[in-house]
Structure 1
């Protein structure tokens, strides 16, 4: 399917690795110009160089998104380079395990900045350009906001905020023709996920148990599968879809647990 994204300037925060990398690659395959915004210049540049070898365009901006000033500077840099923004994918974040019992105010607030505040700031600063292009926003979120996980209050709060902001912005931006949707991730095997699994006593057994709980094909969602939906939501092919929390999770969140016994 031609999603008519050729030469569209799409910001992808945290676009150098994991789910973000998958989104960047699918966008590049569609002829868009993904702009990676992330803290690690080496990681950003590695992906830009990889795509260049395939004759695909991309760009990168180094930014520590937990710093509000860096969010504004990133958008200013992109506007200086391209003079337009056609879409925003808020994706950067980390499940940092700031719990209720063992957390504290400083760590809780730092986690909100790492996982939610920059979603607002990137959208806020990109909005003038998105109004001109009638672009789209996709917020990548997590099932943790709906299911809970335990020992990760700040991350759960951040994802609940991401979901609420998606609906709020969808309403506020109707008058500009800007669509806003969220992509809800459950179990997706990324470098960060692999790093976490390896900290457990029996990583291989735990991974097998997690896979067994995923209804469709008893496997994790791939970054590419998530990316395919994100890119669809950015495109005109989803021109009447807004304010939606879309789960790409193999049925993990909503299907009846009893089917796991079949």
Structure 2
């Protein structure tokens, strides 16, 4: 299926690693012009090099999105380069483990800035350009907002906010023809997820206990699978889909655990 994304300018926050990197690579393969907004220039450029080696194109700007001013500057950089924005993928963030027992006001607020506030700010600053292009927004969210996880109050709250903003923006932007959807991630294999697994006493056993609870094929979701759905939602092939929270998770959140033949096991989902 031709997604008709050729030459579409699409911002991808956190586009240099994990899920964001997968999204950038799929968009570039579809002929789009992904623009990475990421905190590390070396990582940004490494992803661009991989995209170019595969025959695609991508651009980058360095931004520490915990700084509220960074979102406005990032959008300005994209507009200075291309003069248009056709899509926005809000993806940057990390499950930072700020809970009730090991948090506090400063840590909680910092986590919200790290995981939620820039979702709003990037969309706010990109909105005039998205109105002009009748573009689309895709927010990457987490099952922690629906299932809970324990020890990660701030990240769960941020993801509840991501889901709520998705539905709110879908309503607010109907009159502009801008579609807004979210992809809810459960157990997706990324470098940060692997790093978390390796901190545990028995990483192999822990990973086995997690994947046996994923009903479809008893395996982790891949970044490419998240990316494929993202590309579809950005494209006009999903022209009558808005306000949806789409779970790309092998049935992890909604299917009966008995189908997987094991009891529920917690994990450190959300490590992008």
**Under TM normalisation by the shorter chain, which class is it?**
over 0.9
**In the TM superposition, what are the counterparts of 1:170-189 in structure 2 within 5 Å?**
170-189=170-189
- Per-residue CA shift, 1:196-244, capped at 9, x if unaligned? 0111111010001100000000000000011000100000000000000
Task: Check conservation: 2:218, 2:260, Cα contact below 8 A.
Answer: no
Question: What is the aligned partner in structure 2 of residue 123 from structure 1?
Answer: 123
Question: What is the aligned partner in structure 1 of residue 50 from structure 2?
Answer: 50
- TM-score, with length taken from structure 2: 0.95
Shift of the alpha carbon at 1:52? Answer: 1.8
Taking the aligned partners of 1:217 and 1:50, their CA distance within structure 2 comes to 29
Shift of the alpha carbon at 1:261? Answer: 2.8
Question: What is the aligned partner in structure 2 of residue 94 from structure 1?
Answer: 94
Taking the aligned partners of 1:186 and 1:230, their CA distance within structure 2 comes to 15
Question: What is the aligned partner in structure 1 of residue 198 from structure 2?
Answer: 198
Q: Structure 2 stretches of 5 or more lacking a match?
A: 263-272
Question: What is the aligned partner in structure 2 of residue 247 from structure 1?
Answer: 247
4+ residue runs over 6 A deviation: none
Shift of the alpha carbon at 1:256? Answer: 1.1
- 1:182 alignment partner, SS class: strand
Alpha-carbon RMSD: 0.8
- 2:141 alignment partner, SS class: strand
- Per-residue CA shift, 1:145-168, capped at 9, x if unaligned? 000000000000000000000000
Aligned residues: 262
Shift of the alpha carbon at 1:71? Answer: 0.7
Task: Check conservation: 2:213, 2:261, Cα contact below 8 A.
Answer: no
Q: Structure 1 stretches of 5 or more lacking a match?
A: none
- 1:85 alignment partner, SS class: coil
Shift of the alpha carbon at 1:99? Answer: 0.4
- 1:180 alignment partner, SS class: strand
Taking the aligned partners of 1:209 and 1:84, their CA distance within structure 2 comes to 46
Q: Please, which moves more after superposition, 76-85 or 42-51?
A: 42-51
- 1:84 alignment partner, SS class: coil
Taking the aligned partners of 1:53 and 1:256, their CA distance within structure 2 comes to 43
- TM-score, with length taken from structure 1: 0.99
